[in-house]
Amino acid sequence: MGNLKLKGKDILKLGYPNNQSVNIALEVMKRNFATKNIHYVKSLLKEIQQNPENFEKDLTFGQIAEALLSSKKTEKRMLNSNRATFNIFGNNISDEAKNQLYTALKLPIATQGALMPDAHSGYGLPIGGVLAVENAVIPYGVGMDIGCRMSLSILDTPISYLDGARDKYEKALAEHTKFGMYETHKSHVDHEIFDRDTFDLIPILRRLKGKAIKQMGSSGGGNHFVEFGEVEITEEDKQINIPKGKYLGILSHSGSRGLGAEIAQYYSRVATEQCPLPKEAQNFAWLDLNTHLGLEYWTAMNLAGDYASACHDDIHRRLVKAVGGRVKARIENHHNFAWKEIHNGREVIVHRKGATPANENELGMIPGSMTAKGFIVRGKGNPDSLNSASHGAGRAHSRGECRSLFTQNDIKKELKLKNVTLMGGNTEEAPMAYKNINEVMNAQSELVDILGTFQPRIVRMDK
């Protein structure tokens, strides 16, 4: 905590009430002013104590002001006996995933929910779960990899180059993509995101800025990938603005790296302390957006989402520079995020954990597996799904099951059959681990229109 010799009794002497405000003040000041003179720190605390309403919206001192202005005790929230309205798309969904959504729908803040056809169980909200709530955000409802997203670049390069110069494309992936916890690029570009004052306003972001700079342009482990493949545009769209036909494409799937993971862990823990719930619902602890912590998480979440987008920009920039060609179109979308949206005439916070936004005419990319086609889609804005669609094929087998069900040899056979080169990867991400993407797409014909496909050819994943 640094060198600041500040104690609770010092804060009480300044006129603070003997309640949670003392502990909060102690933590905030030690976290932000560890090297400052104690007299300066006390003068700040006195100013906040005398006029807390002036500091309510301050990202550094707001939590102290809020505690001074509120004498409420933390009371256990109860679940409603009835669920909010919901819709389930698709049939091949486990009872465990459905039950996770049913619990979320009983939260007193829940207004509507939906399950996408790729849904499977997760922590808190199931993967493929969509939940709308009133004026609150659920860190675990967003998930651990904040702003995880898909990004597709369609190049003007003839598709024949992919087979004719396969070595070149494999070399580009080997040299210009980085995966997992330890691989990072030697050189870093200056990105505007690191100039944002948000990094300086919130202590956890200040601490994580160095890691974010280091991990820029890298991808996570697990099911994250970067791949070259064959794009086929089957229906022309003004937004994509390229003719029907086949093109070379770069597709990436990754999120906000260590920055997002640590934001998620910290605010999930804080939410649990602030919002006690029955045991089966504890992962749905929320932060009210009228509170300092709610505002703080919302700000951090949005920064993590922008950082995830910047990482994809960097990945695609490096690869295009390495292989040549020009980008004719770019299609990208978040999942694992929360948005302020209007549904049924009122503003709600929509959490999409492993679900693609599919507002009317919104473009998106829904991948299959390392060997199965993915789909370029245009949203229909279906209110029954809260304007959402699946974020992929969805797992048919858990990672643990995959380790015992499949071998590297099984994967090699499938790759050879589909003419796909795999760099890295493991049995947990075997093509057979996933549901049939065509069945998933058929189950959401009311949610999206299909504009084209992406067939993976050279895939790079974490080892």
Question: Which active-site residues does the annotation give?
Answer: 391
Do the annotations mark residue 393 as ligand-binding? yes
Closest CA to 63 of 79, 52, 50, 51: 52
CB 423 within 8 A of CB 170: yes
Do the annotations mark residue 335 as ligand-binding? yes
Do the annotations mark residue 147 as ligand-binding? no
Do the annotations mark residue 225 as ligand-binding? yes
Do the annotations mark residue 200 as ligand-binding? no
Rounded-to-integer distance, Cα 292 and Cα 57, Å: 7
Do the annotations mark residue 394 as ligand-binding? yes
Do the annotations mark residue 383 as ligand-binding? no
Please report the sign of the dihedral spanned by the C-alpha atoms of residue 16, residue 21, residue 25, residue 27.
Answer: positive
Do the annotations mark residue 369 as ligand-binding? yes
Residue type at position 293: L
Q: What six digits make up the tokens of 308?
A: 């995830």
Do the annotations mark residue 216 as ligand-binding? no
Do the annotations mark residue 409 as ligand-binding? no
Rounded-to-integer distance, Cα 200 and Cα 195, Å: 10
Do the annotations mark residue 334 as ligand-binding? no
Do the annotations mark residue 426 as ligand-binding? no
Rounded-to-integer distance, Cα 438 and Cα 426, Å: 24
Do the annotations mark residue 370 as ligand-binding? yes
DSSP 206-235: HHHHHHHHHHTT-B-STT-EEEEEEEEE-S
Residues forming the annotated binding site for Mn(2+)?
145, 224, 253, 335
Residues forming the annotated binding site?
145, 223-227, 253, 335-336, 367-370, 391-394
Residues forming the annotated binding site for GMP?
223-227, 335-336, 367-370, 391-394
